[in-house]
Amino acid sequence: MSQSGFSPVPRRSVSDEVFAELRDAVLTGRFAPGDALPPERELAASFAVNRHAVREALQRLQLAGFVRVVHGGGTTVLDVRSTAGLDLLAHLARSGDGLDPMILRDGLEMRRCIGVEASSLAATRATDSARASVVAAAAAYGCPDIDDADRDFWLAVVEASGNLTFRLALNSLVHAIDGSPEVMDALLAGDRADLLPHAPLADAIATGDTAGAARLADAILTQAIDVWASLTDDGRTLDPMTKGA
């Protein structure tokens, strides 16, 4: 046991593996909405695991909106577009079938919408300390001892907006980004390198320039969408985007 009092845990449990396999089977269309999954006993035999691991995986799938489990009545696949929440983005990013370029586009467009509106709200109603945090976060771009200045900046902006739902949506986007680091590194390179400086946006928020903050945020967050467009052809992913995904 470590000095912190915690014991090491396995990197991935058996139920995690089963969950991932079944999740991918739903996301790739192997099981369509309305289909019944095989019974627990059959799944346990197929995966060569005990039924407890299968049951735990099915419960997680139900909580995530992938299936409906009826005690004694089997498990039915749901239409995740109608039942899942924003956390589905993270599952899509981790799916073994690779990233759908249209889902990437949709996520980047949502990121822009949140960022623009959060910047406008921050300029309108942020506290003095929140404005100072945004300015400090903008100044951190390029600092060698800060690993993710871009993420810290937008977290500061969203916090300054005072909108909890924006923060929760941003959390889901961050989880999705972390699920596909190679792809997102290519798409967000300009943002992270401060290609369009974030300092003017921070100044607009700090001085209460609502229109200016929205305009500058839109320009910055459009960069990744433009990169996406340059790497795709009518929604078909080209090699530069998918390598390593």
Question: Could you tell me the pLDDT band of residue 7, with boundaries at 50, 70 and 90?
Answer: very low
> In the prediction, which pLDDT does 129 show?
98
Best mean pLDDT range from 9-23, 63-77, 88-102, 193-207: 193-207
Lowest mean pLDDT among 66-75, 91-100, 157-166, 180-189: 91-100
- State the average pLDDT over residues 104-123: 94
pLDDT at 244 over 70: no
149's tokens: 């200045």
CATH architecture of 14-83: Orthogonal Bundle (1.10)
Flag whether pLDDT at 28 surpasses 90. no
Beta bridge partners of 40: none
Residue 34 region by backbone torsions, left for phi larger than 0, else alpha for psi between -120 and 50, else beta: left
Average pLDDT of span 88-107: 70
| 168-223 pLDDT, tens digit each | 988 888 877 777 788 888 999 999 999 999 999 999 999 999 999 999 999 999 99
pTM: 0.72
Least confident of 113-117, 120-124, 225-229: 225-229
Q: pLDDT at residue 88 above 90?
A: no
238's tokens: 């080209």
Find, among 194, 106, 124, the residue nearest to 153 by Cα: 194
Cβ atoms of 94 and 176 within 8 Å: the answer is no
Q: Label each residue of 57-108 as H, E or C.
A: HHHHHHHCCCEEEECCCEEEECCHHHHCCCCHHHHHHHCCCCCCHHHHHHHH
pLDDT at position 145 over 70: yes
Beta pairing partners, 70: 74
Task: Could you please state the CATH topology (level 3) that the domain comprising 88-242 is classified under.
Answer: Four Helix Bundle (Hemerythrin (Met), subunit A) (1.20.120)
Q: Which two tokens stand for residue 190?
A: 């300009």
Comparing 7-21, 28-42, 137-151, which segment has the lowest mean pLDDT? 7-21
Mean pLDDT over each residue of the chain, to the nearest integer: 85
Query: Percentage of the chain with pLDDT > 90?
Result: 56
79-101 exposure pattern, b = at least 16 Cβ within 10 A, e = fewer: ebeeebebbbbbbbbbbeeebeb
Helix or strand run (H / E) with residue 237: strand 236-237
Neighbours of 228 (CB within 10 A): 21
Residue 236 identity (one-letter amino acid): R
Mean pLDDT value of segment 128-149: 94
Q: Quick one: DSSP state of residue 196? A: S
All residues at 6 or more sequence positions from 10 whose CB lies less than 8 Å from its CB, including other chains: none
pLDDT at 98: 55
CA-based nearest residue to 213, from 158, 168, 167? 158
State the span(s) of the chain assigned CATH 1.10.10.10: 14-83
Note the pLDDT of residue 204.
98
Burial of 63 (0-12, 13-18, 19+ CB in 10 A): exposed
Phi, psi for 68 (deg, rounded to 5): -120, 125
Coil, helix or strand for 110?
helix
pLDDT band at 133 (very low <50, low <70, confident <90, very high): very high
How far, in Å, CA of 127 to CA of 160, rounded?
7
The segment(s) of the chain belonging to CATH 1.20.120.530 are 88-242
- Res. 152: pLDDT tops 50: yes
Residue 31 scores a pLDDT above 70: yes
